[in-house]
Amino acid sequence: MTEAITAYEQLLNDQMRVLGPDDPHTLTTRHILASSLGRSGRMGEAITAYEQLLNDQIRVLGPDEAHTLTTRNNLAACLVASGRVAEAIHEYEQLLSDQTRVLGPDDPYTVTTRNEVGLWLGLSIRVDEAINASEQVLADRTRELGPDDTATLAARYQLASSLGAAGRVAEAISTFEQLLADQIRVLGPGDVHTQTTTSNLATWLARSGRLAEAITVGEQLLSDQMRLIGPDAPDTLNTRSNLATWLARSDRVDEAIDAYEELLSDQMRLIGPDAPDTLNTRSYLATWLARSGQVPQAITAFRRLLGDQIRILGPEAADTLNTRGNLASWLAMSGRVPEAIDAYKPLLADQIRVFGPEAPDTLATRIDLDWLRQRESDR
């Protein structure tokens, strides 16, 4: 996904220069780029991209145009994914009002939005209730059992988790940090509950963009896991995978590649070459090899991965289609344009059949293919 984002950013720069910011192709690429950012977990950037795109679509296309309405829906979904549920509900309610007016109350898109409003209103209420309940349980446990009792510590963990689920990430992180300090003092660093809290703290730090801190916490967790449960334990392998991802996102790509290669070797030995986690690590490794400039090695890695995914998952599985897109993209970026075109053409046909003609991945492939064909015809 990361290399696709880079490719779309480059394509967008060229479209802005050649076609201008208001051209339909430029707007479509901006939509795909925002969608790709969201699917790669870069929610803050996706939200910003959607907000900027929406302003321009309202100006160029009008507030009631179909693409404008779609962007508003996607923006609301990203707000939900980033934990900003109250803002998402506000966006969905406004969208529902306009869809009802423009499309009618029984249109499938209107019905879907109405369901989203009901779902997130209900969940928002339940999350708030969960936080209130966790706070009450914590107060009761502290009064009855004392602050260091295991039941009290468990109540603090539940409260931190509820805060994170509600999108109150800073509060969740602070609560996890305070809890972790007390668990280390009361239970010790090797206790399974202490390690679970450490893992959650690192994850929320990473989600909030505090990658350096996430890496520090993750490295301490890994050190404890290596010593206490061993290098081959599933939790240890999971921590190693998370650390490699955070290193890569922190631009420590060479370290990330080394970490992925070591992890892959152990996964091949412990869980086998066909396990989902092994396939995921191979995909990440190929991606970051390409990002580090080792494009021929990455193309070879993507080809081998694709062969195994077709055998294990089938040719139309989402992960298989994603690898086909990555392979085609890096073939194009390495200058092997005819090979890239040959890879994109059957991919587009399969994406239309599997996802539909208007799905973001389908649109992205169509834009790439059209651009490469034009490039070849201009030579």
pLDDT digits (tens, 9 = 90+) for 20-63: 888 888 888 898 888 888 877 788 888 999 999 999 999 999 99
Q: Please report whether residue 138 resides in a domain.
A: no
| Dist CA 32 CA 363 (whole Å) | 8
Per-residue model confidence as pLDDT tens digits over 154-197: 999 989 988 887 778 889 999 999 999 999 999 998 899 999 99
| Total domains present in the chain | 1
| Dist CA 98 CA 350 (whole Å) | 34
Q: Are 3 and 40 in contact (CB under 8 A)?
A: no
Q: Please report whether residue 31 resides in a domain.
A: no
| Dist CA 24 CA 30 (whole Å) | 10
Q: Please report whether residue 27 resides in a domain.
A: no
Q: Please report whether residue 285 resides in a domain.
A: yes
| Dist CA 127 CA 124 (whole Å) | 5
Considering only CA atoms, which of 151, 165, 89, 143 is closest in space to residue 120? 89
Per-residue model confidence as pLDDT tens digits over 117-132: 877 776 666 777 778 8
Helix axis angle for 234-249 and 276-291, nearest 10°, is: 20
Q: Please report whether residue 259 resides in a domain.
A: yes
Q: Please report whether residue 80 resides in a domain.
A: no
CATH at 294: 1.25.40.10
Q: How much is the pTM?
A: 0.71
Domain span holding position 297:
251-379
Identify the sign of the CA torsion 310, 313, 315, 317: negative
Q: Please report whether residue 297 resides in a domain.
A: yes
Q: Please report whether residue 376 resides in a domain.
A: yes
